[in-house]
Copies of this chain bind each other. A is one copy, B any other.
């Protein structure tokens, strides 16, 4: 009976997690995913992204019945009306969310019960780059700092090792830390 309740740890069904790892090991092609987003400009700095369909696990997903809608904007000082977080802030959220999910899944797989995972992120950016006023300054963040606070039923060194493993496995960390080829085209070209 203890065995049965142990299956879900940190809200993650570890039995399904290990079954997924086994399935991908025997059929690596099911691990090919494509995620998608559709964005539409509203006015000024306000634009909106709709996210729903994706490809993965060997086919098109049909489990999502409703789309997710995300709003972007800029604060007044950057000529917007605060219709949403700005794009650079959304990037910090993507990074925080991915590191956290990786951390929670790794802990679940290792048998560690977490009680708290919090993180603060800071990204420094010199807008003379993006404003086109300096060729020596990059457009994007010059650096991002992520600081985790993690509690659970494992010693601090184990929790630190789980944070390190999350960093080593996070998809968004990889993209943000190392970059990825991005093509930007106009339809019809």
Contacts and interface: CB of A to CB of B under 8 A. Distances in A.
A142 to B, nearest CB: 7
Q: What bracket does the count of chain A residues touching chain B fall in? A: 35 or more
A135 B140 CA distance: 29
Nearest to A109: B132
Interface of A: 10-13, 16-17, 20-21, 24-25, 28, 31-47, 49, 51, 54, 56-57, 61, 63-64, 68, 70, 72, 74-79, 82, 84-105, 114, 116-134, 138-150, 156, 159-160, 163-164, 166-167, 169-187, 189
6 contacts: A36-B123, A49-B96, A99-B184, A156-B186, A163-B186, A177-B182
